[in-house]
Amino acid sequence: MIKRKNSCSSTEVKVLAQHICMSVFKARRVIDQIRGRSYEETLRILELMPYRASYPILKMVYSAASNASHNMGWDEADLFISKAEVNGGAIVKKLRPRARGRSFPIKRPTCHITIVLDVI
């Protein structure tokens, strides 16, 4: 689920994705590479990264930039990632059936990703 918000400040656009099914550490590995970079450079980096976490982050950055250009009237060439963070979400717990009527737990971690775009 992706929530798009225009924050209180008139100079930034915020995008929040909640309950993304991946580990916090795997998402942070990608987020640390794009923090503080320009929008066009971020797109180039995310398209070439071999990690699974790069695709939802690419969708979020693209969505935030299109919101900024449509709602605020900003040029996409002037945008940069001012803030990007990943927080832990709820852990989805399931049971896997095993032999002799037993079961083993499966824990699927989720994360919440927040990206803020700003104008140079």
pLDDT in tens, 85-103: 999 999 999 999 999 999 9
Banded model confidence at residue 1, pLDDT cuts 50, 70, 90: low
Spatial CA neighbour of 14 closest among 71, 69, 83, 73: 83
Say yes or no to pLDDT of 81 above 70: yes
Do the Cβ atoms of 74 and 118 come closer than 8 Å?
Answer: no
Q: 7 φ, ψ to 5°? A: -75, 180
Banded model confidence at residue 120, pLDDT cuts 50, 70, 90: confident
Looking from the CA of 9 toward its CB, the CA atoms found within 13 Å total 8
In the chain the domains, ranked by start, together with CATH numbers, are 22-117 (3.90.470.10)
User: What integer pLDDT is reported at residue 9 of this predicted model?
Assistant: 57
Question: pTM to 2 decimals?
Answer: 0.85
Q: Kindly report, residue by residue over 13-62, the tens digit of the pLDDT.
A: 999 999 999 999 999 999 999 999 999 999 999 999 999 999 999 999 99
**3-state DSSP call for residue 50?**
coil
Q: What's the token pair of residue 65?
A: 């930039």
Do the Cβ atoms of 14 and 7 come closer than 8 Å?
Answer: yes
Q: What's the token pair of residue 43?
A: 């797109």
